[in-house]
Structure 1
Amino acid sequence: MTSPLWHPFTQHGLGEPIPKVVRAQGALLHLADGRTLIDGISSWWVTTHGHCDPRIAAAIGAQAQTLDQLIFAAYTHDPAEEVAQGLIDLAPRADGRDPLSHVFYSDSGSTAVEVALKMALGYWHNRALDGLSTPRHRILVLEHGYHGDTIGTMSMGERGVYNAAWTPLLFDVTTIAFPHAGQEPKTLAALEAACTAPEKPAAFIVEPLILGAGGMLMYSPAVLREMAAICARHDVLFIADEVMTGWGRTGTLFACEQAGVVPDIMAVAKGITGGSIALAATLATARIFDAHLSTDRARLFYHSSSYTANAIACAAAAANIAIWREEDVLGRIAALSQGLAQRLGVLARHPAFANPRQHGTVVAIDLIASDAGYLSDLAPQLRAFFLDRGILLRPLGNTIYLLPPYCLDSDQLDQIFEALAQAGDFFAGSA
């Protein structure tokens, strides 16, 4: 019997096996057939402290018996207020920069970034209405970026086979070259030129330090700092997409901290609830909020979803924030980062691999192959290879990356890297 399920990023015509997971704990996934997998990618980059964290699970259970869902248009509840204040307290800060001070809830990384886009365009629209600026509509993006799968976020991301069907719906953007090593001045010069072009841009959006789906491409905090500074000099809004990079992935709570950058708008999701349940938020400075503040109801911010600030999800996020405040999460991250670095250094000497790279708990390495790129036939072969060895990994073409939960122990790390070395041996002939 054919399953009625339609899985994301899955070509069902290939008939690849789809394992059934029946429970999870810590870094482990337990399958219906009795096998156990090490979750090497935090179940699509969301799980931080580990699966089924007891504090977060308890908060979800308690909230479900008190208040589950509430219309958030002109109503509020304690979990939403607690999380909003917690996010503001934890957000990046820097001398001389207005802090992020307002929180708008949504339900996924894509919608959080879509909200950021609408905030930026709404800001310039309302300033133009007040005669304080000319209208601005153009968005600057970083080459190879990925920001989600809604129409606005696809427009701001890299174009390719994964969004070709919807090209007629996508709007034009100005793309700034990625700052590859040695090419950073080219990137900064291109951004400077775009910010001073006759058609003044509204905003520049980046994934700080790591471009995730673009191939785990990494760049330095110094480049991030200078890109933000260029935008500030020319009054171009700076949007940080911290959906993947937030919640400790790069070694600090938010990647922007490493550059001393406070964005005008910041999108967060994935790890906001520890990876337990869907929630997202878009943080903005006071000037973004104030541009929408009026006695005219026509100038309110027109965005919502039915589950905005769902109370159960907010309770999970509040528990997650409490864990960050009360436990040594950064210490666990530092230890995991060190363990990853040591093992990556050994793997980098394997002749089948190239371009090892790391930011915090995110590591990536490229399997040398003639069949490279996102649609490389190596990707499904590698997924199956690692599945047979009890590990959940999902390579981006010939790029193998790890983005594990912070509870991963030394033995589990050894098992993963042993499988990576075996993959190098087995697939070395693909070059």
Structure 2
Amino acid sequence: MNLSQRDRAVIWHPFTPQKQMPDPIAVVKGAGEFLYDDQGNEYIDAISSWWVTLHGHAHPKIAEALYKQASTIEQVIFAGFTHEPAVQLAENLLPLLPGTFHKIFYSDNGSTSTEVAIKMSLQYWWNVNKEGGTRNEEGGSKKDPVSKGAADSGGERNEEERGRRTKVLAFNNSYHGDTFGAMSVSDRSVFTLAFQEKLFEVVFIDPPKKGDSLPDLNWKEFACFIYEPLVQGAGCMQFYEKDGLNALLSKCKEHQVICIADEVMTGFHRTGKLFASEYLAHTPDIICLSKGLTGGTMALGVTACVERIYQAFVTDDKLKTFFHGHSFTANPLACTAAVTSLELLQDSDCVARIERICKANTEFISSIKSDEAFVHTKNHRQLGTILAFEITSGKDEYLNSIGTTITKLALEKGVFIRPLGNTVYIMPPYCISEESLKKVYEVLREVVRSVR
């Protein structure tokens, strides 16, 4: 059996209907913007392998750093221990973040980074409104928060009387991950349908459009507001107005609602700036990072917070500890890859390549508006290295099967793209050559012409 057949016998692939699933392509090598299969075929990875591979595949500098680190210490528990890569990454990353961030909490991936942010926000309000530990005046326990599942020790008063906030605000069409907390704050969609009744309640509002007024809400009820700044990634690469988001963030800041920027996808120059939050007048209180954090080499998540949030956990009351962690928290190999990726990102050559991709995307989007091949497409849009549009065939939805057809046709021409239903997009690695980028554009043109 070849590798694809062996795979079919033992592996369950993500986001893939299992019945009549085509054989997965057996990748045996990656180099720069290219992937190579076991048949000798070459593909341009035009979506950076799910938006993670910033500098291309098998980058020699990252590979060398990983080799050296693996020869020193590959993993150590991060409770009670530390190591150079974790400290160096935090030292290098904090000054680059959009705002004045104080501490970094490590986890494993994008879903866990948002999970941490949600728990951190909810516990912040629990901590700041928790009165006098869990002991009554006689020294006995009012409630046992472990065995009884009590939220706090505020007696019989309700949440509003105590001033504790438990509501979460999020956007319709959002996606923040696949763990239960992350699903709860994501749009109720095909990704969450089987689990609806198990997700906690969230208040959803539409992403702001030009001229929209702010929703009529009791803002003091909200613990936090989580949002993907300017681009909703898995929500079919939908863009929305920065002015409306600024107004919304201003209202949240006015009422001390913790603002969580999910920059798992938009971070590290994907939108043309280092972080999408740099386009906005208001900075977040918490920021979530993953995907390109390590240059796509290793799994790693970061949740960074401002000082006021961290200080709510600095207390003699041990019950206010943030009881969250992962076995591979701050894995030395992953942190080493991230340190090296950040160094590469700040190199002048990399900055120039990013600017070239942004400029080429802008020119391509402008050109297709009058291109007959794209007559059956709509909503042409671009921000930084992200380019997207919809095919008008069928419904605007993730389950639109036209995406599978487009992927197959593009692969036959040596380009790997993976549309979100009828939403076609590219998000190339920053190492992509002008020649390869031109080929991606031409294949998009050929594929769109053939499926109209």
Q: What TM-score bracket applies, with the shorter chain setting the length?
A: over 0.9
Q: Distance in 2 between matches of 1:22 and 1:420?
A: 25
2: distance between equivalents of 1:202 and 1:273? 30
Partner of 1:24: 30
The normalised TM-score by structure 1 is: 0.93
CA deviation after TM superposition for structure 1 residue 220, in Å:
3.3
Aligned equivalents of 1:225, 1:130: Cα separation in 2: 35
Q: Deviations along 1:124-181, whole A, 9 cap, x unmatched?
A: 00011148961111100011000000000101111122221111210111111122xx
Query: Please, which runs of 5 or more residues in structure 1 have no aligned partner?
Result: 94-98
Select which of 358, 377, 402 maps to 2:426: 402
Structure 2 equivalent of residue 385 of structure 1: 409
What's 1:201 paired with?
222
Aligned residue for 1:254? 275
- Residue in 1 aligned with 2:288? 267
Alignment of 1:110-129 (within 5 A): 110-129=111-130
Could you say what secondary structure the match of 1:157 adopts? coil
Whether the aligned pair in 1 keeps the contact of 2:210 and 2:241 (CA below 8 Å) is: no
Quote the Cα distance in structure 2 between the aligned partners of 1:332 and 1:38: 17
Could you say what secondary structure the match of 1:278 adopts?
coil
Deviating more after overlay: 214-223 vs 143-152: 214-223
- Is 1:57 paired with 2:63? yes
Q: Aligned equivalents of 1:17 and 1:346: distance in 2? A: 36
Please tell me whether residue 238 in structure 1 is matched to residue 259 in structure 2: yes
2:207 matched residue in structure 1:
178
SS, match of residue 12 in structure 1: coil
Deviation at 1:89, TM superposition (A): 1.1
Residue in structure 2 matched with residue 277 of structure 1 by the alignment: 298
Q: Which structure has the larger Rg over C-alpha atoms?
A: 2
Correspondence for 2:396: 372
Secondary structure of 2:170's partner? strand
Q: State the SS of the aligned residue for 1:250.
A: coil
- Partner AA of 2:112 in structure 1: T
1:305 correspondence with 2:326: yes
Q: Are positions 1:338 and 2:363 aligned together?
A: no
Give the residue type in structure 2 aligned to 1:417.
Answer: Y
200 and 318 in structure 1: CA distance in 2 versus 1, 3 angstrom threshold: same
**1:29 partner SS:** strand
CA distance in 2, matches of 1:403, 1:326: 20
The CA distance in 2 between the partners of 1:235 and 1:79, in whole Å, is 34
The one-letter code matched in structure 2 to 1:389 is K
> CA offset at residue 272 of structure 1?
0.7
Please give the secondary structure, in 2, of the residue aligned with 1:184. Answer: coil
SS across alignment from 1:111: helix
Structure-2 separation of matches of 1:92 and 1:160:
30
1:293 is matched with which residue: 314, 320, 338? Answer: 314
CA distance in structure 2 between the partners assigned to 1:73 and 1:160 by the alignment: 37
Aligned to 2:232: 211
- Number of residues of Structure 1 aligned to a counterpart in Structure 2: 415
Equivalent residue number for residue 101 of structure 1:
102
Once residues 9 and 210 of structure 2 are traced to their aligned partners in structure 1, the CA distance between those partners, rounded to angstroms, is 49
153, 166, 187: which one aligns with 2:195: 166
* Deviation, structure 1 residue 238: 0.5
- Cα separation, partners in 2 of 1:238 and 1:133, compared to 1, 3 Å: farther
* Inter-partner Cα distance in structure 1 for 2:210 and 2:125: 29
Measured after TM superposition, the shift of residue 327 of structure 1 is: 3.6
| Structure 2: unaligned runs, 5 residues or longer | 133-160
Amino acid at match of 1:202: A
Aligned alpha-carbon RMSD (Å): 1.6
d(CA) in 1 for partners of 2:375, 2:16:
31
SS in 2 for 1:202: strand
CA apart distance, 1:307: 0.2
Q: Closer, same or farther in 2 for the Cα pair 1:133/1:338, shift >3 Å?
A: farther
CA offset digits 1:296-340 (Å, max 9, x no partner): 222110100000000011111111122233444332211111111
Q: Distance in 1 between matches of 2:176 and 2:62?
A: 27
Q: How far did residue 123 of structure 1 move?
A: 0.5
Question: Which whole-Å CA distance do the structure 1 matches of 2:188 and 2:117 have between them?
Answer: 20
- State the SS of the aligned residue for 1:59: helix
Give the partner amino acid of 2:78. F
What's the counterpart of residue 214 of structure 2? Answer: 189
**2:377–2:389 contact (8 Å) kept in structure 1:** yes
Which of the numbers 421, 427, 431 marks the counterpart of 2:451? 427
Q: In the alignment, does 2:378 pair up with 1:354?
A: yes
Q: CA deviation at 1:68?
A: 0.6
CA distances 1:255-276 after superposition (whole Å, capped 9, x unpaired): 1011143211000001111111
Would you say 1:138 and 2:139 are equivalent positions?
Answer: no
SS at structure 2 position matched to 1:373: coil
Q: For residues 21 and 206 of structure 2, what CA distance do their matches in structure 1 show?
A: 38
> Does the 8 A contact of 1:71 with 1:307 survive in 2?
yes
Matches of 1:227 and 1:404, distance apart in 2: 31
Q: Which moved more, 1:31-40 or 1:372-381?
A: 372-381
CA–CA distance in structure 2, aligned partners of residues 24 and 370 of structure 1? 35
State the shift of 1:413 in Å. 1.5
1:323 is paired with a residue of what secondary structure?
helix
Are the counterparts in 1 of residues 45 and 417 from structure 2 also a CA contact under 8 Å? Answer: yes
User: CA contact under 8 A between 1:92 and 1:260: conserved in structure 2?
Assistant: no
1:70-115 deviations in whole A, cap 9, x for unaligned? Answer: 100121111100001111111013xxxxx11100000100000000
Q: Secondary structure at the match of 1:189?
A: coil
Mapped to 2, the partners of 1:326 and 1:404 lie a distance apart of: 18
Three-state SS of the structure 2 residue aligned to 1:17 is: coil
Maintained 8 Å contact 1:371/1:378: no
**Is the 1:106–1:279 Cα contact (8 Å) retained in structure 2?**
yes
Alignment partners' CA distance in 1, 2:394 and 2:403: 13
Q: Which amino acid aligns with 2:43?
A: L
Give 1:96's aligned residue.
none
CA deviation string 1:236-289 (max 9, x = no partner): 110000000001100011110111432110000011111111111000001111
Which of 339, 345, 349 does residue 318 from structure 1 map onto? Answer: 339
**Equivalent position SS for 1:129:** coil
